[in-house]
């Protein structure tokens, strides 16, 4: 079986799948307060998700990241993880992982470890309980901190993902870095992207470039660039005094598209081959129309990959959020 290669000779071996559009938080940069969610029949069932992911594994996907919305609020999601673990056992899949807000980790950390998950990304922008409630609207910090602790106790390697927000967590930079060092957690900062329905002006006000974040770190630490890349938008720096490796995801200030190895699937089975472009194809139709024959699905996947664009068009440089996407991050799963 030939692997998935796009028109720019990029090998696609990383799949991110959103398993729900729902969430128990309402982060301001991701969702509006009153979201309307999809009716259940629109969503891929857990069995359809299994078939879809397994087909991608058959076509050469080695790394699978489950996301959302909040993946751990999808009912029955543990049966999906249990089922996916068979691909880890055969070695066809090298990594099964998830991105979560952490709210349900206290409940599920041990089960996740048992299914073969070894790393989780937990999104956490602030260690201040009031600010946490402000940015997530519905979230509560102690619950997430208990989730992080449960995950590390279960043997999961935890990476904290923090969205860099000016006039919000910029004042906490050294607290966040220090906390992650103390707890032996990996840390990645993400530049806020022009997604969702907040106005452009709000987003520009919040935009804290990671170039500036790096410069702020250098006020206290010796910071060196690392050459390692993982095929995604993250670059890494080392804080020499603490030995920490910190990831910087800078979709807006650095073009990372040339090494892009990933595609995304929404909870309705749409495939997005570029986070920053509107173009998508429907995989639910071939899934549902041919329940016993994967050939149509495989052809639809190959056809979608053949349309993967060269890169995205996000650009803040002209002081307006060009290339702004109308869809929410919770739709494509980040």
Per-residue x/- track, 96-115, ligand SAM (CB under 6 A): ---xxx--------------
HSE at residue 200, side-chain half, CA atoms within 13 A, is 13
- Angstrom distance (rounded) from CA 278 to CA 272: 8
Per-residue x/- track, 13-42, ligand SF4 (CB under 6 A): ----------x-xxx--xx-----------
Closer by beta carbon to ligand SAM, 100 or else 280: 100
277 binds ligand SF4 (CB under 6 A): no
Longest CA pairwise span in the chain (Å): 60
Question: Which residues fall within 8 angstroms of residue 64, CB to CB, at 6 or more apart?
Answer: 15, 16, 17, 53, 56, 57, 84, 87, 93, 95, 96, 97
DSSP secondary structure string, 62-80? -EEEEESS-GGGSTTHHHH
193 binds ligand SAM (CB under 6 A): yes
Closer by beta carbon to ligand SAM, 141 or else 300: 141
248 binds ligand SF4 (CB under 6 A): no
Among 13, 17, 66, 68, binds ligand SF4 (CB under 6 A): 68
Q: Which of 58, 71, 14 is CA-nearest to residue 308?
A: 14
* Residue 238: Cβ-neighbour burial (10 angstroms; 0-12, 13-18, 19+): middle
176 binds ligand SAM (CB under 6 A): no
Per-residue x/- track, 84-113, ligand SF4 (CB under 6 A): -----------------x------------
Residues 165-224 that bind ligand SF4 (CB under 6 A): none
* Distances 183 to 1, 20, 149, 295 between C-alpha atoms, Å: 43, 30, 9, 47
Which entry of ligand SAM, ligand SF4, none binds 31, CB below 5 to 8 A by partner kind?
Answer: ligand SF4
> Residues interacting with ligand SAM, by CB under 6 A?
23, 29-30, 67-68, 70, 99-101, 123, 161, 163, 190, 192-193, 195-196, 329-330, 333-334
> Residues interacting with ligand SF4, by CB under 6 A?
23, 25-27, 30-31, 68-70, 101, 123, 329-330
């Amino acid at each position: 079986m030939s692997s998935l290669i796009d028109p720019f000779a990029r090998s696609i071996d990383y799949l991110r799948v959103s398993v729900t559009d729902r969430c128990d938080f309402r982060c301001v940069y991701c969702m509006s307060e009153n979201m309307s969610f999809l009716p259940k029949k629109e969503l891929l069932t857990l069995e359809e998700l299994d078939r879809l992911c397994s087909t991608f594994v058959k076509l050469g996907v080695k790394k699978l990241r489950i996301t959302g919305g909040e993946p751990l609020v999808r009912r029955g999601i543990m049966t999906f993880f249990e089922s996916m673990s068979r691909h880890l056992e055969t070695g066809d899949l090298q990594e099964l992982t998830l991105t979560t807000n952490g709210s349900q980790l206290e409940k599920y950390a041990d089960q996740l470890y048992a299914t073969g998950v070894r790393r989780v990304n937990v999104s956490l922008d602030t260690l201040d309980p009031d600010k946490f409630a402000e940015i997530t609207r519905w979230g509560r910090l102690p619950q997430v901190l208990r989730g992080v602790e449960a995950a590390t106790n279960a043997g999961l390697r935890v990476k904290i993902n923090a969205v860099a927000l000016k006039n919000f967590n910029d004042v906490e930079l050294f607290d966040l870095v220090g906390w992650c060092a103390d707890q032996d957690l990996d840390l990645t900062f993400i530049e806020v992207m022009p997604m969702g329905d907040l106005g452009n002006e709000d987003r520009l006000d919040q935009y804290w470039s990671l170039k500036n974040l790096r410069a702020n770190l250098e006020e206290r630490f010796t910071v060196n660039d690392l050459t390692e890349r993982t095929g995604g938008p993250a670059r890494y720096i080392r804080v020499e005094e603490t030995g920490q490796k910190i990831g910087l995801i800078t979709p807006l200030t650095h073009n990372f598209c040339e090494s892009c190895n990933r595609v995304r699937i929404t909870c309705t089975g749409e495939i997005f081959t570029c986070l920053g472009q509107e173009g998508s194809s429907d995989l639910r139709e071939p899934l549902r129309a041919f329940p016993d024959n994967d050939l149509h699905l495989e052809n639809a996947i190959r056809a979608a990959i053949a349309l993967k664009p060269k890169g995205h068009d996000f650009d803040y440089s002209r002081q307006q959020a060009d290339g702004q996407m109308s869809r929410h991050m919770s739709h494509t799963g980040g």
